[in-house]
Amino acid sequence: MFSISEEHNDIVIRYRRDSSFNETMAMVLAQIHLQRQVKGSNGSTATDAMQKESLVRHLPRGIALLRDPAFNKSTAFSEEERKTLGLSGLLPPRVHTIEEQVQRVLGNLAKKSTDMERYVFLNGLQDRNSTLFYRVLQENIEQLMPIIYTPTVGQACLEYGHIFRRPRGVYISIHDKGHVAELLANWPMKDIRVIVVTDGERILGLGDLGADGMGIPVGKLALYTVCAGIHPNMSLPVTLDVGTDNTRLLNDPLYIGLQSPRVRGEVYDELVDEFVWAVQKVYPGALIQFEDFANRNAFRFLQKYRDAVCCFNDDIQGTASVAVAGFFSALRNIGGKLSDHRFLFLGAGEAGLGTGNLLVEAMQEEGLTEAEAREHCWYFDSTGLVVQSRDDLNEEKRRFAHAHPFVDSFKTAVEMLRPRAIVGVSGQPQQFSREVLEAMAQVNEQPIVFALSNPTSKSECTAEEAYMWTGGRALFASGSPFAPVQVRGETRYPMQGNNVYIFPGVGMGVLACGAKRISDRMFLVAAKAVAAAVSAEDLRQGRLYPPVPKVREVSLDVAVAVAKEAYASDLASCPQPDDLRQYIGELMYQPVYRSYV
Ligand code: NAD
């Protein structure tokens, strides 16, 4: 199928171009070949090879090198590099190690008085020196994840136009219709494998932030790199700017997007469609992650594109996977199977229905029919219990509507249905009242209570309330972080059901095997991998998810599980390596400086 040889210092790969073997595959093979050559002599990895490959083509010199965040090492350029690359005199004489530079960054961060200032500072670092940015994040992931992502990124999006320094990513406005491929091709990196795209209409729990929502794709892609080692040069944040209905932004002279009402309907759909197909042309096979689209569009686009291109929706499928991972962990305490239990969701939107659909998939694997599995999932939305007699249900909700009397009190629903789990995904605070939690404790030895709404102020209950009103017996997880709680002399560590356990690993798994499509089963195996990474000691301490500093290891587990699933279901397009774990481990980007001489 292919041959590799070396001719005059070049690696030559001869192959027949077809759907399963393309230039990307050839590049990967070349990288592995290079890596095999150099490994052992100096311990380099596949990423070294990748870096060397791009170096030959792109390395700038002089001041341009210092200004290029992909290659800049700042004071860490060696004396030899300074002489060879035209840097003499452009840097202060002292050569620093990356460890010293990390210390400097941490010192500066500590001096900032707010998380927003830390966010702006880290953004500046990302613009100056990508390697150092990722090194700092990787070594301090637990402390810094809340800065580069939620909750700080929410505030950053609210102020995006005001804190704007340098653009990052591709902005495609409704006026660019007909030229989307050209815009995508303007991005300087050519080997893009992961794209996160938003239209800014439902940014976190903050609503329509238009083009200011770009902070979300930027932050998510940083997490792809930090958590799963996807090379930063292989990812691209995109914002589709179709206007905004946010009056504050429409009147803000510093807003960065189009100051016109949101375009909807056919014209909007055409832009999204042009984008999806332009990606296939400019970056064939790149994974598209739909992010923070409004509910009605999120489900529609997932339905429309999931079998056509390599894509997923994190708000629907990523959330589902992390929630189901939490259920699997809880079962390790309770025993039994998912299909032994009933789940009642408060909220029937992207997160709630996505989770129900994945539960149905999981229960079918346990032997239930689809109809039987749906009987285990119940919903309570802003109107009340989702039942067959209601005539206001959309298609997604109707699939979970059961033959049952209508009830408009959540507490009554809990008493009647006696669920094992209540899952808060309503965006409405304090819905899990003392009465609701006491009712759960009455019918369950260990009730599962997931209060997933964000931010903290929207949480359906606090960790303390969940433990307090269930006699300390709740198996609790939340969307936003809560501090440890003392329960009868023992410390419980409530964990965040954070999508970050899932999407970076899924992305890496997809990239590693060249998956053509992303299936629900991939999210199911991802959930199992996350639950399996929770130790017995974690469970004893009330943790339903692995500790955050383990997220890179967990992402590797997820990536391996996802790639295996892709091979098993014939969705992979790359030849299967002998040792999948080792192969993916070697693909993971490490933020270390390479020698340029
Ligand atoms: P969505 O807008 O798609 O859905 C919200 C749902 O809540 C709707 O069905 C709505 O009818 C329902 N609702 C509103 N008020 C209600 C009330 N008073 N009682 C019952 N139901 C009510 O939003 P979404 O994407 O599903 O997100 C919902 C929440 O989940 C958000 O707060 C979000 O931050 C959170 N979330 C958390 C995670 C996570 O922790 N990993 C992931 C995704 C979303």
pLDDT digits (tens, 9 = 90+) for 341-394: 999 999 999 999 999 999 999 999 999 999 999 999 999 999 999 999 999 999
Give the single-character DSSP code of 229: -
What average pLDDT does this structure show over 464-473? 96
How buried is residue 4: exposed, middle or buried, by Cβ count under 10 Å (0-12/13-18/19+)? middle
In the predicted structure, residue 463 carries a pLDDT above the cut 90? yes
Residues 6+ apart with CB under 8 A from 86: 61, 62, 65
For ligand 1, the distance from its centroid to the CA atom of residue 342, given in whole angstroms, is 20
Q: Which has the closest alpha carbon to 45: 191, 229, 224, 226?
A: 229
- CA–CA gap between residue 203 and residue 285 (Å, rounded): 26
Q: What is the 3-state secondary structure (H, E, C) of 525-591?
A: HHHHHHHHCCCHHHHHCCCCCCCHHHHHHHHHHHHHHHHHHHHHCCCCCCCCCCCHHHHHHHHCCCC
Residues 6+ apart with CB under 8 A from 41: none
Residue 106's CB: how many other CB atoms inside 10 A?
Answer: 15
Q: For the chain, which domains are there?
A: 135-309 (3.40.50.10380), 317-497 (3.40.50.720)
Confidence of residue 488 (pLDDT cuts 50, 70, 90): confident
Q: Is 268 a catalytic residue?
A: no
How does pLDDT run across 523-542, given as a tens digit for each residue? 999 999 999 999 999 999 99
In the predicted structure, residue 4 carries a pLDDT above the cut 90? no
DSSP 445-486: SS-EEEE--SSGGG-SS-HHHHHHTTTT--EEEESS----EE
In the predicted structure, residue 87 carries a pLDDT above the cut 80? yes
How does pLDDT run across 288-346, given as a tens digit for each residue? 999 999 999 999 999 999 999 999 999 999 999 999 999 999 999 999 999 999 999 99
Q: Is 52 a catalytic residue?
A: no
Q: Which residue has the higher pLDDT, 411 or 49?
A: 411
In the predicted structure, residue 19 carries a pLDDT above the cut 80? no
CA-closest residue to ligand 1 atom 4: 349
How does pLDDT run across 410-449, given as a tens digit for each residue? 999 999 999 999 999 999 999 999 999 999 999 999 999 9
In the predicted structure, residue 46 carries a pLDDT above the cut 80? no
Residues 6+ apart with CB under 8 A from 109: 118, 121, 122
Residue pair 377/393 in contact by the 8 Å Cβ criterion: no
Q: What is the 3-state secondary structure (H, E, C) of 493-506?
A: CCEECCHHHCHHHH
390: amino acid identity, one letter: R
Q: What is the 3-state secondary structure (H, E, C) of 193-232?
A: CEEEEECCCCCCCCCCCHHHHHHHHHHHHHHHHHHHCCCH
Residue with tokens 């995508």: 184
In the predicted structure, residue 18 carries a pLDDT above the cut 80? no
- CA–CA gap between residue 302 and residue 307 (Å, rounded): 9
How does pLDDT run across 499-518, given as a tens digit for each residue? 999 999 999 999 999 999 99
- CA–CA gap between residue 233 and residue 318 (Å, rounded): 23
In the predicted structure, residue 26 carries a pLDDT above the cut 90? no
pLDDT of the residue at 492: 95
Confidence of residue 6 (pLDDT cuts 50, 70, 90): low
pLDDT of the residue at 205: 84
Residue with tokens 């629907």: 316
How buried is residue 304: exposed, middle or buried, by Cβ count under 10 Å (0-12/13-18/19+)? middle
The best mutation among 314, 321, 426, 428 to test binding of ligand 1, ranked by most ligand atoms within 8 Å of the C-beta, falls on 426
Residue pair 45/586 in contact by the 8 Å Cβ criterion: yes
Ligand 1 atom nearest the C-alpha of 478 is 40
CA-closest residue to ligand 1 atom 28: 425
What average pLDDT does this structure show over 453-467? 94
Percent of the chain with pLDDT over 90: 87
Q: Which has the closest alpha carbon to 527: 540, 544, 543?
A: 544
What average pLDDT does this structure show over 456-461? 93
Residues with CB under 6 A from ligand 1: 205, 295, 315, 319, 322, 346-352, 380-382, 425-428, 431, 452-454, 458, 479, 497-499
Phi, psi of 436, rounded to the nearest 5 degrees? -65, -45
How does pLDDT run across 219-260, given as a tens digit for each residue? 999 999 999 999 999 999 999 999 999 999 999 999 999 999
pLDDT of the residue at 458: 92
Rg of the Cα atoms in the chain: 25
Q: Which has the closest alpha carbon to 338: 353, 315, 318, 358?
A: 358
In the predicted structure, residue 48 carries a pLDDT above the cut 50? no
- CA–CA gap between residue 76 and residue 578 (Å, rounded): 38
Q: What is the mean pLDDT of the chain?
A: 92
How does pLDDT run across 555-576, given as a tens digit for each residue? 999 999 999 999 999 999 999 9
Query: Which one of the listed residues 119, 134, 149, 467 is annotated catalytic?
Result: 149
Give the single-character DSSP code of 385: B
Give the global pTM.
Answer: 0.91
Give the residues across from 378 on adjacent strands.
Answer: 344
What are the C-alpha distances in Å from 148 to residues 266, 372, 498? 35, 42, 14
